[in-house]
Amino acid sequence: MLVLGIETSCDETGVGLYDTAGPGLLAHALHSQVAMHDAYGGVVPELASRDHVRRIVPLAREVLGRADRRAENLDAIAYTQGPGLAGALLVGASFAQGLAFALGVPAIGVHHLEGHLLSPLLGAHPPAFPFVALLVSGGHTQLMRVEGLGRYELLGETQDDAAGEAFDKTAKLLGLGYPGGPALSVLAKSGTPGRYRLPRPMLASGDLDFSFSGLKTAVLTLVRKEGGGLPLAPQFCADVAHAFQDAVTDVLVAKSQAALHATNLYRLVVSGGVGANSALRSKLSTASRRHRFETFYPELELCTDNGAMIAYAAAARLEASRTVPTHRRFNVHPRWELATRVLPD
């Protein structure tokens, strides 16, 4: 079964092509709008939607061309139905539904986070079910128990800012542009370990929830107290970046371990943009050796938003279920809890 996946939930237009008959992912392509939004310090929803409109058709053509397939070969079109920016989601949904209608094949709405949490299954060494998933993106920070396809139990989540959002806000404070997560993690490498210590929010809360907005405020206070005014010295910025990253990753690792312990599972899947963070990966690798659990990541290029994970989630669902949607009504869900998702019969 050949499935085209469309991702337009935020500021990346992604298209992927997955073949269940093998070898799996045939091709995928991405256009990032980061440079366009950088001037505004964050995503401008209307600009995001308009850019998706411009990019989606050429990207879909490119992916089909690279895989040497034609639109007529497609068995289904998958698209991110939510959560995300309403206008941006509607571009992908309309394109997918229109193409599916023209080809007479089903269009399948996919939950964006389901795409992220299944993305390690696209790798060379996929994890077996059940596992604990740590979803760490710009919009979400959640721990899930994943029993099987479509069987997701929310174990804990952030009470305020997402981890990626905290990275981005701290990076902005340090003058690193948007989205600052990757730049902050590069800067942190030249920071002095232990020069500053920031709080580890909710580390001892006894549950699996997170909170990152206080950490951002702690960074602001530190910058005001110790920064010596603008412009901030490069080494000071690096030391703060190091302290911030150290605090966030300590919490993410500790809570992931607690989730494995609480569920009695020993496989951890890490996905979403922050999963690309090298400090997080290195701490998890140390913890996994010490506490004997296995950690799985998507391929680095599939950590952030992409169409491949959307194509895969729909393909897996199509294979698991005998019936496919035949109706042509559609809507998007800008807010949508993954744990409430149930597989169609």
Contact with ligand KG4 (CB under 6 A) among 13, 33, 137, 249: 137
| H-run or E-run covering 17 | strand 12-19
| Contact between 305 and Zn ion per CB under 5 A | yes
- Count interface residues toward ligand KG4 (CB under 6 A): 18
In the numeric block, which tokens belong to residue 265?
């599972």
Q: How near is the Cβ of 172 to ligand KG4 at its closest, in Å?
A: 10
Phi, psi of 307 (to 5 degrees): -85, -20
Contact 52, 83 (CB under 8 A): no
Cis peptide before 130 (omega within 30 of 0): yes
Residue 48 beta carbon to ligand KG4: minimum distance, rounded to whole angstroms = 12
Find the angle CA(209)-CA(317)-CA(28) to the nearest 5 degrees. Answer: 85
Is the CB of 106 or the CB of 138 nearer to ligand KG4? 138
How far apart are alpha carbons 141 and 277 in whole angstroms?
Answer: 14
Q: Is 19 in the site for Zn ion (CB under 5 A)?
A: no
Least Å distance, CB 274 to ligand KG4, is: 4
In Å, how far are 29, 245, 270 from 152, measured between CA atoms?
A: 28, 28, 15
For the window 121-140, what string marks contact with Zn ion as x by the rule CB under 5 A?
A: ----------------x---
280: part of which helix (H) or strand (E)? Answer: helix 278-291
Per-residue binding string, Zn ion, 74-113, x by CB under 5 A, is ----------------------------------------
**Which window, 146-154, 272-280, 292-300, 337-345, contacts ligand KG4 (CB under 6 A)?**
272-280
- Please check whether residue 273 is in contact with residue 164, taking contact to mean a CB–CB distance below 8 angstroms: yes
Let me know how long the chain is.
345
Among 24, 45, 130, 182, binds ligand KG4 (CB under 6 A): 182
- Residue 293 binds ligand KG4 (CB under 6 A): no
Host H or E run for residue 255: helix 234-263
- Indicate the residue among 9 and 185 with the shorter CB distance to Zn ion: 9
Paired sense of beta strands 151-157 and 141-148, if any: antiparallel
Residue 139: CB atoms within 10 A of its CB come to 19
Work out how close the CB of 114 gets to ligand KG4 at its nearest, in angstroms, rounded to a whole number: 12
- Which listed residue (138, 191, 201, 298) binds ligand KG4 by CB under 6 A? 138
Report yes or no: 179 and 260 within 8 Å, Cβ to Cβ: no
Q: Which does 141 bind (CB under 5 to 8 A by kind): Zn ion, ligand KG4, none?
A: none
Closer Cβ to Zn ion, 11 or 239, answer by number: 11
Local structure of 6: helix, strand or coil: strand
Among 87, 181, 298, 307, binds ligand KG4 (CB under 6 A): 181
Binding residues for ligand KG4, rule: CB under 6 A, are 10, 137-139, 164, 167-168, 179, 181-182, 185, 272-274, 276-277, 304-305
What is the contact surface with Zn ion in residues (CB under 5 A)? 137, 305
